[in-house]
């Protein structure tokens, strides 16, 4: 990716901020500053909040790390050119179904998924296929199922994922109609 810079005005001076690293650094600094203000205001409540946050983080970290490892393995085993071959299949309904299934079991952030879809679009993949992929990618969580189940329960997690998958297919259908692919 190319570096994009944002110019912001602060006290009449312009500063260049790298959209990834510098903004995250600013958020870390702001969070630390607010934590110090909280600590100064009420030390005991801040300590208690940090203790609760650490307990929750240590509870969710193993499941989250295992999901990241599993996702890394899947992306390593499934190169981009295979995705292009499968999603560019002549039958658009099979391609939509495959894209929805791939999106359901893939875990990647939007800032990676959307440029990937731009690349796939340039390769001739239909909008409705990309719509099925991105919608299920953001809404359906097969890899995050264990974490979600721990917080919401199995029944709610299954129902949410099924409805999200169906909604993704409806969105893909609407996208196909809108772009004249159907």
158 found inside a domain: yes
In a structure prediction context, what are the per-residue pLDDT tens digits for the chain, which is 182 residues long?
Answer: 344 444 444 444 444 545 556 788 898 999 999 999 999 999 999 999 999 999 988 887 787 677 667 666 766 777 767 767 777 767 889 999 998 998 898 877 776 777 778 877 887 889 999 999 999 988 888 888 888 888 889 999 999 999 999 999 999 999 999 999 88
pLDDT of 13 reads 47
Q: Do 176 and 92 touch, CB atoms closer than 8 A?
A: yes
Phi-psi region of 17 (alpha: psi -120 to 50; beta: other; left: phi over 0): beta
81 found inside a domain: yes
| Enclosing domain of residue 122 | 77-178
20 found inside a domain: no
pLDDT of 8 reads 43
pLDDT of 67 reads 65
10 found inside a domain: no
Question: In this structure, what is the dihedral angle of CA atoms 135, 140, 144, 145, given to the nearest 10 degrees?
Answer: 180
32 found inside a domain: no
114 found inside a domain: yes
95 found inside a domain: yes
Q: Do 126 and 92 touch, CB atoms closer than 8 A?
A: yes
Q: How many domains does the chain have?
A: 1
14 found inside a domain: no
Question: Rg for the chain (alpha carbons), in Å?
Answer: 21
pLDDT of 2 reads 40
């Amino acid at each position: 990716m190319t570096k994009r810079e944002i110019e912001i005005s602060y006290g009449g001076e312009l500063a260049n901020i790298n959209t990834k690293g510098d903004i995250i650094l600013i958020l870390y600094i702001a969070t630390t500053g607010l934590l110090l203000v909280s600590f100064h205001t009420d030390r005991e409540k801040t300590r208690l909040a940090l203790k609760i946050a650490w307990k929750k983080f240590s509870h969710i970290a193993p499941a989250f790390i295992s999901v990241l490892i599993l996702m890394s393995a899947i992306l390593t085993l499934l190169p981009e050119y295979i995705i292009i071959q499968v999603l560019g299949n002549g039958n658009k309904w099979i391609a939509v179904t495959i894209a929805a299934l791939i999106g359901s079991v893939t875990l990647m952030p939007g800032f990676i998924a959307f440029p990937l879809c731009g690349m796939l679009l340039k390769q001739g993949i239909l909008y409705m296929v990309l719509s099925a992929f991105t919608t299920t990618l953001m809404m359906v969580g097969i890899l995050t199922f264990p974490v979600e189940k721990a917080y919401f329960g199995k029944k709610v997690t299954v129902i949410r994922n099924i409805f999200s998958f169906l909604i993704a297919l409806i969105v893909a259908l609407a996208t196909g109609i809108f772009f004249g692919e159907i």
